[in-house]
Structure 1
Amino acid sequence: MEAVVGLISVLLAVSHGVETYCDGRQNGAQCYGALGGTVVLQLINPSEISRFQWTKNNAVIIYWRNNSLIENQIQDRSLFTPSDGTLRINNLSRNDGGEYKLEIYDSNGQPLSSRYLQFSIQAPVSSVLLVSECLSQGEMRVSCSSEGGDSPQYSWTLDGHTLTDAELLSGNKETNNITLKQHVSGNLVCSVRNHVSHVSKEETISDCGFIFINCILCDGTHISQWVFAANNTLCVEPTTTTVPTVGKETETIVSHHSLLICGLRAAVVVLLLIGIFVYFAWKTKSKTAGGSAVQENSVLMVEMRSSATEL
């Protein structure tokens, strides 16, 4: 018997796929195995091994009696170790899932106890892909997709900490799609797990190049919005408006430039008005002086004509 067990041990020495462990000694235990992988079930206490049977849907899977394995319906891919009461099953398939019943008897065949075990098979997550894109106002949408995996669960971290509401514009941090606020940057990690696997993907993200501007234009228009820095023509220099930057110190963005432009424009208008006033004043004075000279010439000509008549 020991030689047979040893031979089986050698044949099953190589583990296939993902290996999981579950303690099934408590009634109602929930155990999980990876599709195509291996599970090690703590099926029974060594002290209880006298006579027992393990069944599924009333069909006997394993029957042990008098230190001998009387029956094993999955013997080509399983190994029961009586010294520790564990059952190892390889190459798990969907058909292995279901409810199992363990019945323990004394040496005389009288029932001592029974317990149930629920066994579920899940496909493991094999890989994770991160895709990010900038939105119109500088937000960043990030999608996390996983290949394979039954009932995947998602979680996110940024520079080692769980994403906060101050960093998330929308989306639950436990879903596969999130939208980050402007100026969020750092090492973003998406983790995908189920009961039989855990895979993560890391990507370094930077802000989308947007800045927050806050100023009043010459026509009284109040500008307060996020704009793409490379194309910005408003509030070019910073104002003393503080803008919260997520996860970092508040960033101060200033802009006296618009006020300077307004002042220069006003000065140009004033100078233009003064110039126009001076021009018209000079023009009026010139016309007045010209009119007086004409009148004096007319009087002189009249006097000259009168003298000539008298002669």
Structure 2
Amino acid sequence: MEAVVGLILLLLRVSQGVETYCDGRQDRAQCYGALGGTVDVQLMTSALVLARYWWNENRTVILDGIKTRIMSNLLEDRSSFTPSNGTFRITNLSRNDSGEYQLEAIDLDGNIERRTLHLTIQAPVGSVLLLSECLSEGQMRASCSSEGGDSPQYSWTLDGHTLTHAELLSGNNETNSITLKQHVSGRLLCSVRNQVSRVSREETITDCDRSLLICGVRAAVGVLLLICITAYFAWKKANSNKTEGSAVAGTREHPENSVLMVEL
């Protein structure tokens, strides 16, 4: 339960201050907003040239206005509309804000225009974890995972350039796990993004063959040290048993001197 609460708090901290922009002047526009963040939707170039306009969602009137006069705003506690540039700003976005919206506008000549846009609210990517491990034949496997974030997309670079087939053994630049060929080294960077956020993590990787050699030497030294310690304790135990055996044998050969031997 504590982990879930911590994740929610992290996502809220990440999403706070995330602002996105959407140009809704084109019909069927696709817009995105960050969960807990702010989105600026430009509904029109200016409301000053319109006689009347309505912005609806599922037949519910969100905004109703006449030129610069706002007749009603269903989201007035967390939104604002600027008639001069036709921008509707919504803050503290929630999942419920996702949906299809329709704009109906009547210009000064009586012409009617209708447009729709779809707004999708996504949780931004919180953080990125990059893990790498050397394989037995000198290759390196790298995996990238993100905390939170809806519909994450992955990309990889090495020393600032996109990974090539000469460097990749398996996977590609759009998967979260890749395997690099032998002798590949440099600054490996994984980026995770969606429509409202982008987070990266970088790690300097070295030649796996050299790393495996170092690990092998360390392992050999450890094994040798373990053998020496085991041999020492075995030798010590053998000497102890030999001493105890000599003492018992002396007692049996000269029982009359056993008390004297103990005293000595």
The answer to whether the superposition gives a TM-score over 0.5 is yes
Residue type at the aligned position of 1:133? E
Alignment-derived partner of residue 96 in structure 1? 97
Alignment-derived partner of residue 200 in structure 2? 200
CA contact (8 A) 2:123 2:148 kept: yes
Distance of 1:91 and 1:229 partners within structure 2: 53
Residue type at the aligned position of 1:76? D
Alignment-derived partner of residue 68 in structure 1? 69
CA contact (8 A) 2:58 2:100 kept: yes
Larger radius of gyration: 1
Task: Please report the TM-score for the alignment, with normalisation by the length of structure 1.
Answer: 0.61
CA contact (8 A) 1:48 1:104 kept: no
Residue type at the aligned position of 1:144? C
- Cα deviation for residue 231 of structure 1 reads 5.6
Alignment-derived partner of residue 264 in structure 1? none
- Cα deviation for residue 209 of structure 1 reads 2.5
Distance of 2:216 and 2:16 partners within structure 1: 57
CA contact (8 A) 1:56 1:100 kept: yes
Output aligned runs, 1:48-87, within 5 Å.
48-87=49-88
Output aligned runs, 1:274-285, within 5 Å.
none
Aligned length: 202
- Deviating beyond 4 angstroms after TM superposition, the runs of 4 or more aligned structure 1 residues are 227-232
What are the superposed Cα offsets for residues 206-236 of structure 1, whole Å, 9 maximum, x if unpaired?
Answer: 012259xxxxxxxxxxxxxxx858769xxxx
Aligned-CA RMSD value = 2.1
Alignment-derived partner of residue 167 in structure 1? 167
Alignment-derived partner of residue 147 in structure 1? 147
- Cα deviation for residue 69 of structure 1 reads 0.7
Alignment-derived partner of residue 186 in structure 2? 186
- Residue 111 to residue 134, structure 1, CA distance change in 2 (3 Å): same
Task: Please report the TM-score for the alignment, with normalisation by the length of structure 2.
Answer: 0.72
CA contact (8 A) 1:138 1:228 kept: no
Distance of 2:68 and 2:133 partners within structure 1: 64
Tell me, which stretches of 5 or more residues in structure 2 are unaligned?
Answer: 1-14, 218-264
Tell me, which stretches of 5 or more residues in structure 1 are unaligned?
Answer: 1-14, 212-226, 233-311
Distance of 1:51 and 1:62 partners within structure 2: 11
Residue type at the aligned position of 1:81? T
Output aligned runs, 1:108-147, within 5 Å.
110=110, 112-147=112-147
SS class of match (1:76)? coil
Distance of 1:101 and 1:191 partners within structure 2: 35
CA contact (8 A) 1:156 1:174 kept: yes
What are the superposed Cα offsets for residues 56-107 of structure 1, whole Å, 9 maximum, x if unpaired?
Answer: 0011000002531111110000010011110110000011011000000245
- Residue 69 to residue 178, structure 1, CA distance change in 2 (3 Å): same
